[in-house]
Amino acid sequence: MTSITETSPHLLAPEPSRLQALKSIILGRPGTIAAVVVIALLCIVAVFAPMLAPYDPLTQSMLKINRTPSWENWLGTDQFGRDVLSRMIYGSRNSLIFGLISPFCAAVIGTTLGVIAGYFGGIVDRLLSRVIDLLLAFPELLLAIMIAAVLGGGFWNVIFVITIAFVPGFARVARAQTLAVKQEPYVEAAISVGVRTPVIIFRHIIPNIMAPIVVLMMLWVASAIRLEASLSFLGIGTQPPNPSWGNIIKDGLNNIFGSPWPIIGAGAAITLVVLSFNLVGDAVRDALDPSTSQN
Amino acid sequence: MARYLLLRLADAVPTVFLVLLLVFIAMRILPGDPAIAALGDMATTEQLQLFRERMGLNDPLWLQFINFVKGVLTLDFGTSMMSNQSVLGLILYNLPYTIELTIVAMLIGILLGVPLGVIAATNRNKAPDSGVRAFSLIGYAIPDFYLGALLLITFSLNLGWFPINGGGEGFADRMYHVFLPALTLAFVKAAFIGRLTRTSLLEVLSKDYVRTARAKGAKENRVIYGHGLRNALLPITTGLGLSTLATLSGSVAIEMVFNRPGIGKLLISAIAERDYAVIQGGIVVFAMFVVLINLMMDLVYIVVDPRIRMK
């Protein structure tokens, strides 16, 4: 054990300082500590949903329609007699899955496109940049709605839609960063001694453009959760009867005279989780990419 | 000025063309057969064939694209399969409601956001600044359709101060109907605009000419509004463009919450009914809105910042 702790600072030279910075930023802000706790709780709830949920989220019961909150049903029941809390607990899985997978996929695709455009330049760059600029003119939500309008809802379609909505942003950052890194002496040196292009890209370019990409990925986890909720609310995301925080609100609105509790509960959950991911995203940005900090 | 205007307008033409191409690709080439999407899995082969014939889906792709562009340019979006009305008619009926919602929301957002930003910037790191920061954190996090539902439950359902749904008739009634939906969208706007105003104003207030203005004894109000806010306008204007687009995309969910007519509601209902022509028309309208708002923002810049005209 001791030998590892002694050598690790040398093996991971730049890493500890960034992690240290992140740690001190998080610990220095009470709000961010609370946000980390909320996210940890969300992960626990999502993973252990079957054990934590008091009822099955899909079981309907005509006998217990539109109940107000009680010890039996903490958040009451909806118009089909389903337990709202159980639906919210299962719905957390959707938020977490879409929130994590889509920004990651978008980061991979967007970075690939951006690096290709930035590194090779020429006609490829001009074509890609034109399309990226055009797509960037669309707000992510509008782009997502427009694509989902064509594709319809469902798990893979939602992943696809949110991913596509985020790709242009990653591509623009990756392209700009690649253009900057390409000018660095070590890349010019590598080119002049004849290092093969893929090696230059994977060894010299990509590691050096990762910081802003990771920051963007963190900041967009919150956006992805919001997007999924919005799409599900509009009926073009997670399809009923599967619960998602967005479609719980949609169902709640159709039953607004019956019980307001599904709306209040699911909406509060979305707000709290998005707020938490935003706070943590800000902390990650301040640690990894201090130049863009807004404070 | 006129030359810049013409250049900028000319530049919009290929953009519109590219947008139409992307919409076309999305509608025709993405996975999924439009005929099956429109008629459902249960449709017979003959029905599918008839639909493809009627929509021109059997033509070669390039001909379909030309017909599509021709249709958009002549404002012929086809006929709704559900209501048998012309899609253009449906769009023209719904469009004013969406525009009205967006404009009122932006106005309320600016009227709330800019003063909030000024208060935050002039009280930097004091209590009002923290208050504005907390407000904007919540504004960024709360989904607009949730806020809308809460306002609807509180003010329309429980207190009965505002109507529960619809768009209203006549100016006063329409403003009455649009207020709560617009306020919902404006809340998020105010958070964004407030934060933006704070940042740009702080940046301007650290400039040399502001120090000079203070040194020669200008009143604080004159420094803040005459020198500060005036020069902070350009970044705020840039933000307003983005903000208008965000309001437009937010209007889709808000129209659903308040059950208001509008392009968003038209599009979402069309998706539920698989009304292909209306979906396509709705998407084109939103896409054209994006191009148009970007164009308008560019024109606003040259009014706000004459330096851009020189380039």
B-chain CB neighbours of A271 within 8 Å are 138, 141-143, 146
- pLDDT tens-digit map of B15-60: 888 888 888 887 776 555 667 766 766 777 887 788 777 777 777 8
Give domain status of residue A10, yes or no. no
- Does residue B63 surpass a pLDDT of 90? no
B102 Cα to chain A: minimum distance (Å): 14
From B134, B238, B150, select the one nearest B193 (Cα to Cα). B238
B-chain CB neighbours of A42 within 8 Å are none
Residue range A248-276: mean pLDDT, rounded: 88
> Rounded to 5 degrees, what are φ and ψ at A83?
-70, 120
Give domain status of residue A6, yes or no. no
Q: What is the value of ipTM here, to two decimals?
A: 0.83
A127 Cα to chain B: minimum distance (Å): 11
- Contact yes or no for A249/A263 (Cβ under 8 A): yes
The residue among A225 and A77 whose pLDDT is bigger is A225
Calpha distance B213→B210 (Å, rounded)? 5
- Does residue A242 surpass a pLDDT of 70? yes
Length of chain A: 295
- Contact yes or no for A236/A153 (Cβ under 8 A): yes
> Residues 42-101, chain B: which have Cβ within 8 Å of A?
none
> Rounded to 5 degrees, what are φ and ψ at B57?
-80, -10
- Contact yes or no for A199/A265 (Cβ under 8 A): no
Tokens representing B271 are: 């998706």
State the total domains in chain A: 1
Residues with Cβ within 8 Å of A51's Cβ and at least 6 positions away in sequence, in order, are none
Tokens representing A149 are: 């309008």
A-chain CB neighbours of B283 within 8 Å are 146, 149-150
- pLDDT tens-digit map of A142-165: 888 888 887 777 888 889 889 988
Which residue of A lies nearest to B199 if distances are taken between CA atoms?
A294
Amino acid at A224: A
- Does residue A2 surpass a pLDDT of 50? no
Which residue among B142, B246, B271 places its CB closest to the CB of A149? B271
Report which DSSP code applies to B57: T
Give domain status of residue A11, yes or no. no
The angle subtended at Cα B155 by Cα B247 and Cα B114, nearest 5°, is 40
In whole numbers, what is the pLDDT of chain B averaged over residues? 83
The superfamily CATH assigns to domain B87-309 is MetI-like (1.10.3720.10)
Report which DSSP code applies to A68: P
Give domain status of residue A188, yes or no. yes
> Which pLDDT value is given to residue B31?
55
- Among A138, A270, A280, the strongest candidate for a mutation testing the B interface, having the largest count of B CBs within 10 A, is A138
Question: What is the band of A281 on the pLDDT scale with cuts at 50, 70, 90?
Answer: confident
* In chain B, domain spans: 2-73, 87-309
For chain B, how many helices (H) and strands (E)? 14, 0
> Residues 268-287, chain B: which have Cβ within 8 Å of A?
268, 270-272, 279, 282-283, 286-287
Report which DSSP code applies to A184: S
Which residue of B lies nearest to A164 if distances are taken between CA atoms?
B26
Domain of residue A95 covers 19-62+72-293
Calpha distance B276→B60 (Å, rounded)? 19
Residue range A127-133: mean pLDDT, rounded: 86
Tokens representing A177 are: 């960063």
Which residue among B145, B242, B245 places its CB closest to the CB of A249? B145
Give domain status of residue A67, yes or no. no
Q: What is the CA radius of gyration of chain B?
A: 24
Which residue among A150, A233, A260 places its CB closest to the CB of B30? A150
Residues with Cβ within 8 Å of B52's Cβ and at least 6 positions away in sequence, in order, are B35, B58
Question: Maximum distance among all alpha carbons in chain B?
Answer: 84
Residue with tokens 């953009």: B15
Q: Determine the distance from the C-alpha atom of residue B60 to the mean position of all C-alpha atoms in its chain, rounded to a whole number.
A: 35
Per mean pLDDT, which range of A110-124, A242-256, B35-49 is the poorest? B35-49
Q: What is the CATH number of the domain that holds A275?
A: 1.10.3720.10
Residues with Cβ within 8 Å of B99's Cβ and at least 6 positions away in sequence, in order, are none
Which stretch of DSSP H or E encloses residue A48?
none
